[in-house]
Amino acid sequence: MTDLTPHATFREILSQPTIWAGWGATLPIADLRRWIADTHVSEVWFCGAGTSAYIGDILAAGLEGHEGPRLRSVPTTDIVARPRAYLTGTPKLIVSFGRSGNSTESIGLLDALDALAPHWPRLNITCNATSALGLRPGAKVIALPEATHDQGFAMTSSFSTMLLTAAALFDGSLPADEVPARFQTLAGTLATLLPAFTAQARSARRPARAVFLGSGPLAFAARESALKVMELSAGQIPALWDSTLGFRHGPKSFTTPGTDLWLFRSSDPQARAYDDDLLAELRAQFPQSTVTAPDVPQGPGDLWSAPLYVALAQILAVTWSDALGLPVDDPFAGQGTLTRVVSGVRLHPVTP
């Protein structure tokens, strides 16, 4: 079998347990939570583009119903396109996620805030301390360990560590002094799962199409999973995501005999009952497809288990990319269509 370790992307996936354990032990959660409370906002926006936007989707869904400010996922791509539709009214805490911290939309959001909402508080969570997100004045900055600044095309350790950082900040049900243990437990769980995920990926067929499904935050973990497959296969394996209950409402038509499906089952008993219903239905209706419900420990809830599920998709995507003969760390090399840090976006000035 092909050795995947020469690929930086694969090594970055494997590095996640070590990164999480070390970062969780040093993250000053109590101080950061006090800073957030001192902003006195009634609403928090999680902002990013692509995978960084999906972090916000997972957080907002996973913390739905929790006490505290209202949490929304508002992609930078939406705000930059129509800043005056968003940057009005009472101040919101803008939480920006960025691996490079230098994407055009990240800079565009900073510019729009400077022009239209300079008094709104900002929290930048980035994997690149020397980036625009890391150095722009006027924001509280959390710079993640350099090891999270993935060199591969696809966001892997950057995604999971930014997600867990924000989960630790905004999940008020987790006492601050228990954060290191939570990160350590998750790290140990993923370290145990990764060999099984790798073996599963090697034994699984390479599907013509892939579908990832889940409920609540796991629906958006499914979204990130589908993106990883499409990115690393350079579009050669089309992938779809949806919610467990939403899939029947038209998107199920995507399923052909060459399609395999993964259903991320929820730890919530109500949601899990619907997951199990769909799992049985898909296996009955599509006997030529492999329908998998990954065996992931449920732990403290779906928000916290989301990066464990996504890690499986990361492994699958790398395995299939390598099998397709693609340069895993830059699947679009020579095409000039997609790049590690998005290029080709021209910012149009925002005036007060």
Same domain, 223 and 145: no
Same structural domain for residues 51 and 104? yes
- Asked if 246 and 151 sit in the same domain, the reply is no
Task: Tell whether 331 is covered by a domain.
Answer: no
Q: Are residues 227 and 309 in the same domain?
A: yes
Whether residue 135 sits in one domain with residue 83: yes
Task: Give a yes or no: residue 339 inside a domain.
Answer: no
pLDDT of 352 reads 84
Digit-coded pLDDT (tens) for 286-317: 999 999 999 999 889 999 999 999 999 999 99
Residues 188 and 206 in one domain: yes
In which domain, by residue range, is 157 found? 8-178
Q: Are residues 33 and 135 in the same domain?
A: yes
- CATH number of the domain within which 217 lies: 3.40.50.10490
Sites in the chain below the pLDDT cut of 50: none
Out of 143, 178, 213, pick the residue that ends a domain.
Answer: 178
Q: What confidence score (pLDDT) does residue 1 get?
A: 63
* Span 98-128, pLDDT tens digits: 999 999 999 999 999 999 999 999 999 999 9
Q: Are residues 135 and 190 in the same domain?
A: no
DSSP string, 46-110: EE-STHHHHHHHHHHHHTTT-SSSEEEE--HHHHHHSHHHHS-SS--EEEEEESSS--HHHHHHH
Q: How far apart are the first and last CA of the chain?
A: 59
Same domain, 233 and 166: no
Same domain, 105 and 120: yes
The amino acid sitting at 211 is V
Across all residues in the chain, what is the average pLDDT?
96
Q: Quick check: is 152 in a domain?
A: yes
pTM of the predicted structure, to 2 decimals: 0.97
Residues 19 and 150 in one domain: yes
Residue 338 inside a domain? The answer is: no
Do 246 and 309 lie in one domain? The reply is: yes
Q: How many independent structural domains does the chain possess?
A: 2
